Amino acid sequence: MTVAEGEAVAPLPGGEDLTRFLDHLWLEGNLAANSLAAYGRDLRLLESYLASRGRRLRDADAADLSTFLARRLQDGAALRSIARQLSSLRRFYAYAQREGWRGDDPSASLQHLHMGRHLPAVPSEGEVDALLAAPDRSTVLGLRDAAMLELLYATGLRVSELVGLLRAQLDLEAGVVLTLGKGSKERLIPVGEVAMEVLDRYLREARPQLLGQRQSPALFLSVRGEAMSRQRFWQTIKAYGAKAQIRAAFSPHSLRHAFATHLLDHGADLRSVQLMLGHAQLSTTEIYTHIAQARLQSLHRQHHPRG
């Protein structure tokens, strides 16, 4: 439940020190109700941890705080959540020092957390398989959608590059696609056999029906025989993502992330992935090594007897 701004907020359960601190924040009047609730949640976690060690909030030292944050990370808390908790306890101990509860600030020695680059959610290989199987390939539109999804996953194209492809940019015989990326830079990307088979069938069976008596240089066509729009493809892939029951946050860009991560998972070198993605800097591609490493660590913790 969201509390309207300016409305009184009843203090949530907690020790006397925490209650007084939350009352102080509310009386200052510069925090939204949701932010106030977040402070309460963060500090109650610390309060509970300290209570298990026979200590109160006001008694904690720097070692207590660093151990608490480290355990939160080990328990799988997101880095963004840990950074917010650090901000909460900094504010609490600054208040405790001003109130004379203690003579020092135990949070002063804790370093600020560097959030770093956000790691995008990546569908698993099983989820991608379910997504690629979602279109009904016995229909014209289903076959078109299957061809688009297969090509997207096979090449790591950006969605703008995919919908902007011309028929002449796909070479079925050579098994490659030529695309214009950012800055109008050309890159030639190999296409796997599975995707090529679906594309070949789309070109023979579905595209002629979508084109009818019209002419269009676009590779992928709408029911009006025109190039697919990004908005239309977004709606399409979102529906298939729901059908495939993909749990992570899903978008058209998710298949680009999956393309790169799964290649690295199976031993591809970073430089090759960079070239296929069209990244100007290798450092941009390196985010996918972090994703792959995080996945390996997760699998190790889950399955290794000493994980």
- Which of the following is catalytic: 53, 71, 117, 182? 182
pLDDT tens per residue, range 249-305: 677 778 888 888 888 888 877 777 777 887 766 666 666 666 566 655 565 565 545
Fold of 16-98: DNA polymerase; domain 1 (1.10.150)
Residue 49 annotated to the active site: no
Confidence of residue 115 (pLDDT cuts 50, 70, 90): very low
Residue 182 annotated to the active site: yes
- Which of the following is catalytic: 72, 144, 256, 257? 256
Chain mean pLDDT for the chain: 81
- Which of the following is catalytic: 253, 271, 290, 300? 253
The pLDDT of residue 4: 35
Average confidence (pLDDT) over 199-203: 97
- Which of the following is catalytic: 158, 207, 257, 262? 158
Average confidence (pLDDT) over 118-124: 70
Long-range contacts for 296-300 (Cβ within 8 Å, ≥24 apart)?
none
Distance CA 295, CA 288 (A): 11
Give percent of the chain with pLDDT exceeding 70: 78
The pLDDT of residue 1: 29
The pLDDT of residue 2: 31
Q: What is the DSSP letter of 112?
A: P
Residue 98 annotated to the active site: no
> In the chain, where does the domain assigned CATH 1.10.150.130 lie?
16-98
Residue 304 annotated to the active site: no
Contacts of 78 (CB under 8 A, 6+ apart): none
The pLDDT of residue 62: 82
> In the chain, where does the domain assigned CATH 1.10.443.10 lie?
125-303
Residue 303 annotated to the active site: no
Fold of 125-303: hpI Integrase; Chain A (1.10.443)
Lowest mean per-residue pLDDT among 86-95, 168-177, 195-204: 86-95
Confidence of residue 44 (pLDDT cuts 50, 70, 90): very high
SS3 (DSSP) at 178: strand
Residue 256 annotated to the active site: yes
The pLDDT of residue 124: 85
pTM: 0.57
Distance CA 265, CA 271 (A): 14
Distance CA 270, CA 289 (A): 8
